[in-house]
Amino acid sequence: MKHLVAASLVALALVSTATMAADRQRVGLVLGGGGARGLAHIGVLAELERLRVPVDCIAGTSAGALVGGIYASGMPVKELTGKVEDADWNRMLTGAPDRTHLPFLGKRDDFKNLAAMTFGVDKDGVRAPRSVIGSQEIDRFLRQLTRDVDVESFNKLPIPFEAVATDLITGEMHVFKRGDLAVALRASMAVPGVFDVVEDNGRQYIDGMFVRNLPVANLKECADIVIAVDVGTPMLKAEDIKTLIDVAAQAMQIATGQNVREQRALLRSQDVLIEPALGDYSPASFREAKAIIEVGRASIAPVEARLRELSMDEAGYARWRQQLATRAPKLHDYDAIQVAKTRFVPVDRVRAVLEGKDPPKTQEELLKRFDSLYDSGDFDRINYFLRNDEGRRVADIMPVERSVGPNYLRFGLELDMDTHGASNFALLGNLQMTWLNRWGAQWRNDLRLGQDSELNTEFYQPIGYTPWFSATSGHVSSDLLKVYANDGRRVLEFRVSSVGVAQDFGLSLGRYGELRLGAFFERSTSEQQIGLLTYDNIDINTRGVRFSGVLDQLDNPRFPRRGYYLGGSFQHAYLTEDGGSSGWLNTMNLNADIAETIDRWSVRGSLRLKGNVGNEDDVGIPVATLGGFLQLSGLTSDQLLGDRSMLGRVMAYRQISPLLPILGSGTYLGGSLEVGKVWNQALYGTSTGWLPGASAFVGVDTLFGPLYLGTGWTDYNGGNWAAYFYLGYAN
C-alpha cells in the first residue's frame, strides 16, 4: 500500500510539472566544460533562481556536467555553493592521501628526492601510470554530492539531465542518460592524462570536451528556449605561448574549439548565450572557487532583461520548486556490503577494514572506511555500486589496487651548486616489491650514483598480523670526505668505502612511526685522494647494537604547513682498526621538526644533532658536518667537520603562487635564521663556538622535488656569503 501511495504521488508530481511546463515555453540549460572555470555555472544557477526562471532540462559536459548533474538531482544552489567553496581542493587535485594518515612504511622515502611519478615493474617490463592524479578524493566528493543516485533514466531526476563523455576506444560521443550519476559525472570530467579513465559496462570513457564541450544539440527536443553558458578558455595569443605547458593548453583549445563553434551555431535568436568574464582564471583555478562563482553571478547582467521574460510569478515558481523537491532522491541505509576480489592485497585484509565488526550502514560510514583503506597506499581508488537483491539494498565495493603495483620503481636526482665553486649531482633509484606474502613482506632497494654513491637493501617482514616486524638489511657505499681550512680552502680529501649488514627487530606505530633495536657489522676503508700531507689508508671493523625511532606527522616534508617529526638513533659499537687502536664507539643522531601555519605564513623549527658522544680517546673518525644551504647558509656544503655538530633553525615561508597539480604544489618565498656549532674540528681539534647564519630563498615544490634559488650568510671568520641553486630535500 505504501509503495502504491508513493507511486501515485510521484505520478501526480510529474503530471503537475508537465502541465505547468505546457503553459509556458520550456527552458533548457546547457552548461559547457572548462575545468575550474565551470564553477561559474553555480553563480548562473543562483541568478536564475533569483529571477525565478524555471529550468526544464539540463545537459552538461565536464565541469558543466558536475554542476548540472548535482543541481538536476535536487540539491539547492545554496547547499551546492557551500560544499564547493568549503571543499579541500588542494587535497582533491593532488589525488594523494593525507600524508599524516599514511602508514610509516608509505612515507619513509619522502625525505629522498624521488620524483612523484611511480612506475610499475612486472614480468612484462616497466609500466607507466595511466594518470598523474588519483581520482579517489574526486570520487568521494561526487559520491557525497550525488547521494547514491542510481536510476533507470535521468529523466526521472527532479530535472531531466544528460552528461556528455568521449568513448576512449572509438572516439565517439557517449551521452549518459541513466544509471549511476556519480559515474556519469566522473566520466564526463575525466581529463586524459590527469585523471584515470572511467570504466562502465565494459567501455572506457574520458572527458566529453573532445566531442561536444557545449552540448546545445542535446536539448533541442526537450526545450523551446536554450540558455547556453560557455566557460571555455580563450585561445592563447602567439606572444603568450612560451612553454610546453602553453603549447599543450593551446592544443587542447584547438581540439575542443571546433565542436564548440559548431554548437554555438545552433543557437537561435530566441536562445540566450552567457559568457562569464573569467579573464585569467584557468581550468586549474579551483582554489578560487568563491571568486569564480561570483563571476558567474555577474555574467547575468547583460542578459537579465531577456531572462526576466522567462520568469514565473512568485507563487507559481514556489510551487514549481516544491514539486522538484518532492522528487529529490534521499539517502538510504545499506542492508549489506559485498567486497570484490583483489589483485594482490589479500581480500581478507581489505574486508577487515571495510567490514570490521559492524559493517557500515550509511554512506558516511562507508566513505570513512574507504578513507582508511585508501590511506594504506595500495589502492588507486575504492568505489561502489548499488543493487537491489530481493528487496535488500547492497553496496558492491570495487577496490582497485594501484595499476603499477605491487612492485614500484621510482627515479630522482639531486643537484646543488654554490658560488664557492662547489657542485654535486646524483641520480637516485628506488625499487620496492610489496605484498611478497599475505603478511605484507616488502623488499626495498635504494641506489644513489654520484660523488657519494650507495646501495641499500632491506627485507621487511611483519611477524604475523601483529605490529612487530623483522628487518634484514645490507649496504655498500662510497663517500667523499672533504676537509677544509678556516679560510674555506679544501686541503684534504678522502674516499671512504664501506660495506655492512644488520638485523633489526621493531615495533610499527602505524601511521606515526616505528621503533627498532638491532645488531650490525660494518667494514670501512679510508683512502686519501688529495692533500699536502700523506696519510696511510685506514681499515676499520665496527660491530655493535643500535636503537632507532621515528615519529613522523608532517603533512609535507618539503614545505610543511603543520605537523611534527622526531627521529633519532644511538649506536654502541666496538671499533677495531687494522694494525691500530680499538675501543668502544658511541654515536648519536637526532632530527626534530615542528611546523605550524598562521594566516598565509608557515613557520618550521628544526634541531639537528649528530656525532660521536662519550667515546674513548683516539677512537673513531670525524663524522659530523655543517655548512651549506639552510645548514649555516653562506658556507659551502659540509665545510665544517668534527666529532659532533648541532644546528638550530627557524624557517618562515609563504606560497606566492600555486602550480597546476600535475606540476607540483606551488612557489614559495621564505627565509631562515640559523645557529650552529661543531666540536673538535678535524684539522684543529677546537670547537667553533656558536655561529649565527641566515638565508633568503625562492622555492618551488615540483614533482621532481623542491627547487631552491637562495642566498645566505654565516658569521664565520669575518662573515661568509654564498648563493645557491639546490634541487633536493634540504635537511
Q: Which residues are catalytic?
A: 62, 207
Beta carbons of 59 and 162 less than 8 angstroms apart: yes
Residue 94 carries which side chain, given as an amino acid letter? T
Identify the bridge partners of residue 285 per DSSP, sorted by sequence position. Answer: none
Any alpha helices (H) in 608-670, and if so which ranges? none
The phi and psi torsions of 252 (rounded to 5 degrees) equal -65, -40
Map residue 116 onto helix, strand or coil: coil
18, with CB counted inside 10 A (0-12, 13-18, 19+), is exposed
Residues 6 or more apart whose CB falls under 8 angstroms from that of 221 comprise: none
Cα(569)–Cα(547) distance, integer angstroms: 6
Closest CA to 708 of 723, 725, 691, 693: 725
Region of 452 please: left (phi>0), alpha (psi -120 to 50) or beta: beta
What is the 8-class DSSP label of residue 240? G
Q: HSE, CB side, 13 Å, CA atoms: give it for residue 632.
A: 28
How is residue 121 written as a grid cell?
615493474
Residues 6 or more apart whose CB falls under 8 angstroms from that of 692 comprise: 673, 674, 675, 714, 715
How is residue 675 written as a grid cell?
645557529
Q: How far is the CA of 571 from the CAs of 412, 472, 500, 610, 623, in angstroms?
A: 30, 17, 14, 12, 13
Question: Buried (b) or exposed (e) across 101-131, using 16+ Cβ within 10 A?
Answer: bbbbbbbbbbbbbbbbebbbbeeeeeeebeb
Q: Angle at CA 80, nearest 5°, toward 76 and 81?
A: 115
